[in-house]
């Protein structure tokens, strides 16, 4: 069974997992829907205008390999995708957004995080929980004992903050 670390930064509070999309702030729901439209288009290029909605680029990786400009983002997501075309990236994004989310609050900052299981793992996961978890794991990481779950965060103002594993 894949387990995720249950550590959280000091001062962070997490809501209970929720699948209630109607409870999301309007801008968060709009960003989520724009991401899902790109997923439904089956073309990684459809994600470009969603990424460019932000004043700053969402984080897709840590370290020297991360894209530094909006222009680099799609090529990075293609390279990171197992198929080299971005299909895996779109599938992971869609799988994450299909799961419940949690509301993460640190001081005045609120972020909605998908999938909830990345931050709040199931205590006694059922087979459905495990299938949902593995749908959010990159193919390259499946063989790991504790594969990292891809997760994304959208700020309460609708800003896409990140999409990465960890």
Output the pLDDT for position 166: 73
- Residue 51, pLDDT > 90, answer yes
Per-residue pLDDT tens digits for 115-161 = 999 999 888 889 998 889 889 888 877 877 788 899 999 999 999 99
- The answer, yes or no, to whether residue 6 has pLDDT greater than 70, is no
Distance in angstroms (rounded) separating the CA atoms of residues 81 and 161 = 20
10: pLDDT strictly greater than 80: no
The residue behind tokens 């909830």 is: 116
Q: How many CB atoms lie within 10 A of CB 40?
A: 11
Tell me: the pLDDT tens digits for 16-35?
999 999 999 999 999 999 99
DSSP code of residue 139: G
Contacts (Cβ under 8 Å, ≥6 apart) of 120: 14, 16, 17, 102
pLDDT computed for residue 1 by the predictor = 46
Q: How many CB atoms lie within 10 A of CB 150?
A: 24
- pTM, to two decimals: 0.88
Is the pLDDT assigned to residue 69 strictly greater than 60?
yes
Predicted local confidence at residue 136, as pLDDT: 87
| Separation between Cα atoms, residue 10 and residue 8, nearest integer Å | 6
pLDDT digits 0-9 by tens, 89-113: 999 999 999 999 999 999 999 999 9
pLDDT number for residue 9: 57
Predicted confidence (pLDDT) at residue 55 exceeds the cutoff of 80: yes
The per-residue pLDDT for 8 is 55
> Chain-wide mean pLDDT for the chain?
90
2 has pLDDT over 60: no
Of 132 and 37, the structure prediction assigns the larger pLDDT to 37
């Amino acid at each position: 069974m894949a387990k995720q670390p249950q550590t959280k930064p000091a001062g962070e509070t997490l809501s209970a997992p929720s699948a209630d999309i109607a409870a999301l702030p309007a801008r968060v729901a709009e960003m989520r829907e724009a991401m899902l439209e790109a997923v439904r288009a089956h073309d990684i290029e459809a994600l470009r205008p969603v990424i460019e909605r932000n004043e700053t680029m969402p984080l897709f990786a840590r370290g020297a390999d991360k894209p530094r400009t909006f222009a680099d983002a799609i090529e990075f997501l293609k390279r990171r995708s197992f198929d080299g075309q971005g299909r895996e990236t779109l599938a992971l994004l869609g799988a994450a957004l299909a799961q419940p989310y949690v509301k993460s609050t640190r001081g005045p900052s609120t972020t909605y995080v998908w999938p909830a299981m990345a931050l709040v793992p199931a205590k006694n996961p059922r087979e459905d929980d495990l299938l949902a978890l593995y749908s959010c794991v990159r193919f390259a990481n499946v063989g790991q004992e504790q594969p990292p779950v891809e997760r994304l965060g959208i700020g309460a103002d609708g800003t896409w903050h990140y999409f990465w594993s960890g």
